[in-house]
Amino acid sequence: MTKNGRQSAARKNNRRVPSRAGRRSIPKAPTGIAGLDDITRGGLPRRRATLVCGGPGSGKTLLATQFLAHGARTLGHAIDSIKAKRVVLDTIEMLFSGFTDAFALRAELHRLFQWLKTKGVTTIVTGERGAEGLTRHGLEEYLTDCVIVLDQRVTSQEATRRVRILKYRGSAHSNNEFPFLIDDNGLSVLPITSLGLHYDAPSGRVSTGVPQLDELFANGGYYRGSSVLISGQAGTGKSSLAALFARAAVQRGERCLYFGFEESPDQIVRNMRSIGIDLAAGVRKGLLQIQAQRPTHFGLEAHLITVHRLISVWHPEIVIMDPISNLTSIGTPHEVKSMLSRLLDFMKGWEITSLATSLTGEGSTSYKTDVGVSSLMDVWMLLQNVESNGERNRALQIVKARGSAHSNQIREFVLTDTGLKLIDVHRRVDGRVLVGSSRQTDQGADAERAAIAGSGGRP
């Protein structure tokens, strides 16, 4: 593979291409755990001991087991007591539970780790967290070459697991905490700091799903790989625009992953059918996958890892999240913004065009979203309810579109049984823009005056 090809593939998998100076300096044993090998820059130190410590239920044993299983799969032959390459001691407290003399215990711990090093095996030692230190004995972290700390905390009745590489002799490593998930696929870590502003900027365009709306953008539609935000109050048509975008993707033969946080898949399909949008056809073709889940079912980081995994497995070109403002029920606006920024960076690395809807509260400032993510987005459209003459009408405007000229008009639109229709701007001679029944009345008067003028002034 050429250098450019390798860099492109690395970007596609959202990994940086290491420079010669940044390559690891010590041999490492891959763990086979998604994300953990990223933050350790290749795995655990080969032929050395690693301490994995944490409280009950933090995932120590599972991490060690996956490490052993990966070694068994990649060594290619049976692992026996003589030819073992990987060893797990789970837990070290049980191994030395009979020692009552602290001095003798420390001497035996030291002798054990020295013996393991002379045997040349890659070892994981698990240990329970101590009352004051990392471990109960307070010595293991000094005798091992790598220390991994697992933590499980509960915030607002939501449990979140995190991992941190506390030390790694002879190797650079990530220092931050990283969320990890335990599910049917085992343990997986999302290396959030490996995501960042390292992605291409495609120049191709994708349709919004509404031809009239495409015309409001220079060259038509959104840039492929961009992030789009549609915000507005309840009932302004945010989900309808999202569904139109999904249908357009299916019509192009592209895969669309739709995350719904308010309605079931069947309800989403039924409701969109009322305005002439057939999402069921996309589902039948295997091009549209609707994932519906209440935000409170998971914590924020679990949602992040779940979306990350689905994207990595299914490889969609389009991802829709409707609405992201519901995530504030499981996190503060700051936490939600942090989670979404990492997700957006990940999707940009895959050149996925993403669209998110966000609810703005009644009476809130129009140019402010409940989760404060507008600054992260490439395109921001604001939908409004315009109240006049005792009626409420819908309008939209493009607030921003990075790298693209766009219309500055506020356009009225209506939802019909055949989709969304933009209404041409109707301006009175005094400069006022009329919408709804006021517009229809004035248009009728204009038509009547034109008819009289065309008949020579006769009524």
DSSP 335-372: HHHHHHHHHHHHHHHTT-EEEEEEEPPTTS-TT--TT-
Q: Which domain, by its residues, includes 283? A: 205-409
One domain, residues 313 and 433: no
pLDDT over 50 (residue 36):
yes
One domain, residues 234 and 158: no
One domain, residues 298 and 187: no
One domain, residues 131 and 82: yes
Share of the chain above pLDDT 90, in %: 32
The structure tokens listed for 35 are: 């994300």
The structure tokens listed for 77 are: 């032959």
What's the whole-number mean pLDDT along residues 170-190?
Answer: 82
Cβ neighbours of 421 (radius 10 Å)? 12
pLDDT over 50 (residue 76):
no
One domain, residues 33 and 173: yes
Instruction: Please state whether beta strands 86-89 and 122-128 pair in parallel, antiparallel, or not at all (unpaired).
Output: parallel
pLDDT over 50 (residue 152):
yes
The whole-angstrom distance between residue 187's C-alpha and the CA centroid of its chain comes to: 18
**How would residue 101 be classed by pLDDT, with cut points 50, 70 and 90?**
low
One domain, residues 358 and 266: yes
d(CA 374, CA 379): 8
The region of weakest confidence among 78-92, 239-253, 273-287, 299-313 is 78-92
d(CA 307, CA 301): 10
User: Is residue 414 a part of any domain in this protein?
Assistant: no
What Å distances lie between residue 198 and 50, 107, 346, 351, 424, CA to CA?
32, 49, 10, 11, 41
pLDDT over 60 (residue 3):
no
Which is higher by pLDDT, 372 or 81? 372
pLDDT over 80 (residue 450):
no
pLDDT for the residue 297: 72
pLDDT for the residue 421: 92
pLDDT over 90 (residue 306):
no
One domain, residues 107 and 219: no
Domain total for the chain? 3
